[in-house]
Amino acid sequence: MFNPKRTPPKAVLRSEQSTSEPDLAKISKTPSEYEVTGANRKRKQPECEHAEQIATMDANLTKTLSEWKASLDANLLVINDNIKSIRGDLETYMNEIKKEMDCLRSENISIKATVSKLTEEVSEIKSSCQFISNQYDDCQKKFQSLEESTPLRCEIKTLEAKIDYLEQQARECNLEISNVPERREENLFSILEEIGKKIDLAIPREEITAIHRVPHAASSERPKNIIAKFKTRYLRDNILSAYRLKKGVISTDLGILGAPRTVYVNEHLTLHKKQLLRETREVAKKYNYKFVWVKHSTILAKRCETSPTIAIKTKNDLCKITTSNIS
Identify the pLDDT of residue 61.
Answer: 87
Identify the pLDDT of residue 305.
Answer: 87
**Which parts of the chain register pLDDT below 50?**
1-2, 4-5, 11-19, 24, 27, 29, 32-39
CA pair distance 39, 28, nearest whole angstrom:
18
The strand ranges marked E within the chain are 174-178, 208-214, 225-230, 249-250, 262-267, 291-295, 298-302, 310-312
Identify the pLDDT of residue 73.
Answer: 87
Identify the pLDDT of residue 39.
Answer: 47
pLDDT in tens, 160-213: 889 999 999 999 999 999 999 998 889 999 999 999 999 999 999 999 999 999
